[in-house]
Amino acid sequence: MAAMQKTWIGVIAGVTLALAGCGTGGDPQAPAMSSPVRPSSTTSSSTAPVAIPPTRGVPTAAATVRPSASTPAPPGPPPTPATGTVILRTATLSGLPVPGVPVYLSLQQPCDPAGHDIPVGETTETRRLDGVTDSSGLAAFTTVTGCYRFGMTAPAGTDPVPEGMHTLFLVDQGATVTGQLRFQDTSPEPAPACAESTIETELGVDPAPAADISECDGQWAVISWTVPGDNQRIITRTSGTWTTYVLFPHTTCWDTAAADGVPDRLRPYFNC
């Protein structure tokens, strides 16, 4: 009986070992029962960090992304346009300045200033500058290089020369170009004989003090100046020049004055 029990125990042990061997795939070192290993919720301070190599072609956070050599550079600021000076001059044909003339300068585009030609009907005004000539008949403008038309508004009483359309060309940086606007010369009107400047010039007296002119008919006059003392005089104009007839006080009698041609209206200035 005891022998039979030992025999059965050996059979059962063999079957058990056979079943265990089938469960491990023939690996005698594998454990009979394997359970999944769960990671601990805490990491020991002695555990060293594991370095993960970067994936090929994918930059890591620390990698620097460099632009491709074919990337175009950003555009820079536009170039500063070249500038120069345009002077418009208003004068007579003999060269006398004509001041106080309204003038204008008109930039025409598209146009090549080096060609010195503004095609009619192919350009338009893109900029206009206005000014007035000074006492020397000049008006200056600082402006960009280019092709320009210019002109004026002739003041009343002037006689501008009919010269058609005026053009000029400012080609180089810093250059100065002058445009001419011309007027006919007019004969100056003769100064009135009774004008203070005429009398003082012809008498040769100081023109600084103000003069009081009375009884002037272009031939005879009475004049005095606003300075201390008695400086009144009667003057006469002979041969186109004023001369002194009598200074006050005087002793010339009326009979003598009348014989000299003094008009009757000046008789109160004589005593005898």
User: What's residue 18's pLDDT?
Assistant: 45
User: What's residue 174's pLDDT?
Assistant: 94
DSSP per-residue codes, the chain: -HHHHHHHHHHHHHHHHHHHHHHTTT-TTS-SS--PPPPPSS--TTPPPPPPPPPTTS--TT---PPPTTPPPPP-PPPPPPEEEEEEEEEETTS-B--S-EEEEEEEES--GGGT---TTT-EEEEEEEEE--TTSEEEEEEESEEEEEEE-PPTT--B-----EEEEE-STT-EEEEEEEE---PPPPPPTT-HHHHHHHHT--SSS-EEEES--SSEEEEEESSSS---EEEEEETTEEEEEEESS----HHHHHHTT--GGGGGG---
Q: Amino acid letter at 184?
A: Q
Sequence-distant (6+) residues with CB within 8 A of 49 are none
| pLDDT tens track, the chain, 272 positions | 444 555 445 555 454 444 444 444 444 444 444 444 454 444 444 445 555 555 555 555 455 556 556 777 777 777 788 999 999 999 999 999 999 999 999 999 999 999 999 998 999 999 999 999 999 999 999 999 999 999 999 998 899 999 988 999 999 999 999 999 999 998 666 668 999 999 999 999 998 999 999 889 999 999 999 988 899 999 999 888 999 999 999 999 999 999 999 999 999 999 88
Decide if 180 contacts 91 (C-beta within 8 A): yes
Number of C-beta neighbours around residue 160 at 10 A:
17
CA distance 116 to 99: 29
CA distance 185 to 175: 31
Dihedral sign, Cα of residue 51, residue 57, residue 58, residue 64: positive
User: What's residue 186's pLDDT?
Assistant: 81
Dihedral sign, Cα of residue 246, residue 251, residue 257, residue 262: positive
The pTM of this model reads: 0.45
Residue 38, sorted as left (phi over 0), alpha (psi -120 to 50) or beta, turns out to be: beta
CA distance 120 to 111: 11
